[in-house]
A = this chain, B = another copy of it.
Amino acid sequence: MNETIACAICSEACCTLDIDGESQERLVRMFKALGSPVRFEIMKFLVTHPGCITGDIVEYLPVAQATVSQHLKVLREAGWVAGTTDGPARCYCPDSENIAWFREIVGEIL
């Protein structure tokens, strides 16, 4: 679905956006991850409290611990946040590299 195609507008082979499948998947995953009110709220909290632990988020949000953990996993796998182990706890931070990548590619494409 990512190669050059013909369409009714051009009536000949024509352009498509220059993004490889892997990057696109990654990008869509990032969009999807922040397309949830709860996860967006978590992200907001992490931006203003970088390095905080999961428990802080659980305290802050009216959401069960298991749910927060699940959402953090989604944000991690999407690349929005990165977690480092600190004893039994886990510190989370916005993943600035991936965030920069997101902004960059969004700027190119949209």
What residues of chain A have their CB less than 8 Å away from a CB belonging to chain B? 1, 5, 7-10, 14-17, 19, 24-25, 27-29, 31-37, 40-41, 43-45, 47-49, 51-52, 55-56, 59-61, 94, 99, 102-103, 106-107, 109-110
Instruction: Provide the residues of chain B in CB contact with A16, threshold 8 Å.
Output: 44-45, 48
Main secondary structure on A side of the interface with B:
helix
| Contact status B106-A44, CB under 8 Å | no
Decide if B37 touches A35 in the complex (CB within 8 Å): no
Contacts of A17 in B (CB 8 A): 44, 47-48
Nearest CB in chain B to that of A52: its residue: B9
Judge whether B52 and A27 touch: CB under 8 Å: no
**Which 5 A-B pairs have CB atoms at the shortest separation, nearest pair first?**
A32-B35, A31-B35, A31-B34, A35-B35, A17-B44
Which B residues lie within 8 Å of A35 (CB)? 28-29, 31-35
